[in-house]
Chains A and B, each alone.
Chain A
Amino acid sequence: MDPAAAKLIGAGIACIGMGGAGVGVGTIFGHYLAAALRNPSAAQGQFGNLIFGFAVTEALGIFSLLVALLLLFAL
């Protein structure tokens, strides 16, 4: 196979990992919303934790995006 084509296919495959991060981020926000509707007065205090969990989960998706970007532009 042509190495350039293999690189492009690899970048596409690497992006599948972002789907997992999407599931994770959805779970975090969904559970936050469900809990906030049960106890709205406690929701404001957990906003920092929400953003932290979101950021840590998103980092894994960012890593797969990074692999894709490296394949496309750096290697």
Chain B
Amino acid sequence: MDPIHQFDVAKLYVFGHVGGAEIAFTISALYMLMSVALIALLMIGATRQRALVPGRLQSAAEISYEFVATTLERTTGPEGMKFFPLVFSLFMFILTVNLIGLIPYTFAVTAQIIITSSLALLVFLTVIVYGFWTHGYRFLRIFVPRGIPIYILPLVTAIEVLSFLSRPLSHSVRLFANILAGHITLKVFAGFVTMLSAWGILGFIGAILPLGLTVALTALELLVAFLQAYVFAILTCIYLSDAIHGGH
């Protein structure tokens, strides 16, 4: 009945120890591999026929491709399209993992802070490396906005630096906290159903309300799962746009 218990990372197979740290194949790794396999199957299966009039599977693949491509092009311009594989992989991975995690008795990978912070740090470091690689030290100009009066410029620059450094934090914690809070809420409401139905016939009738709410919350979580994947992708686009275009 403990709502936190579902986030325990169970070890499926322990490979051994490296310097005191245990190297194990966990349930988290299993679900990540499963979702990557699912995405690969969907994309390979959908593009095998390449029909002029797409079937159901092919349209699903085409819609997701078009969706990410338009988002990326609109935020970064045509120069950003070389980052399409990165953004598309991130979007599809997070979306699939979120959706798989919503199935009862499965494991929500994105409710692990280590997973989301790894993804966010990947984006953050890509932005820094690519920004310095294309613009050199002039990349630092993103911290100094144009058209600001000189006497408040130091303050604005300090705020810009701080907000730049807090990007990976908010980028990762947003996804993590949304999925974590959603799954805890679902579990708490599901707990009400079992608690009430233990009271006999009156409890059974009373349990209909939390059961209906659980269904409604699952629908809401479906929206959150998609929205958070989209938010992660669009923020990646916006951060990449900084690296591509340099100082505003």
Contacts and interface: CB of A to CB of B under 8 A. Distances in A.
A55 B177 contact: no
Contacts of A69: 177
B185 interface: no
B146 to A, nearest CB: 21
Given A48-B71, A48-B74, A62 B234 contact: no
Contacts of A58: 174
B173 A62 contact: yes
A17 to B, nearest CB: 13
Chain A CB within 10 Å, residue with most, of B75, B230, B234, B238: B234
A37 B142 CA distance: 35
A39 B74 CA distance: 20
B234 A51 contact: yes
Contacts of A55: 174, 231, 234-235
Contacts of B75: 48
Give the interface SS of chain B, mostly helix, strand, loop or mixed.
Answer: helix
Interface residues of B, number: 16
Contacts of A66: 169, 173, 177
A51 B230 contact: yes
B170 interface: yes
Given A51-B234, A52-B234, A65 B177 contact: yes
Contacts of B170: 59, 62-63
A54 interface: yes
Interface of B: 71, 74-75, 166, 169-170, 173-174, 177, 181, 227, 230-231, 234-235, 238
16 contacts: A48-B74, A51-B230, A51-B231, A51-B234, A52-B234, A54-B231, A55-B174, A55-B234, A62-B173, A63-B170, A65-B173, A65-B177, A66-B169, A66-B173, A66-B177, A69-B177
Interface of A: 48, 51-52, 54-55, 58-59, 62-63, 65-66, 69
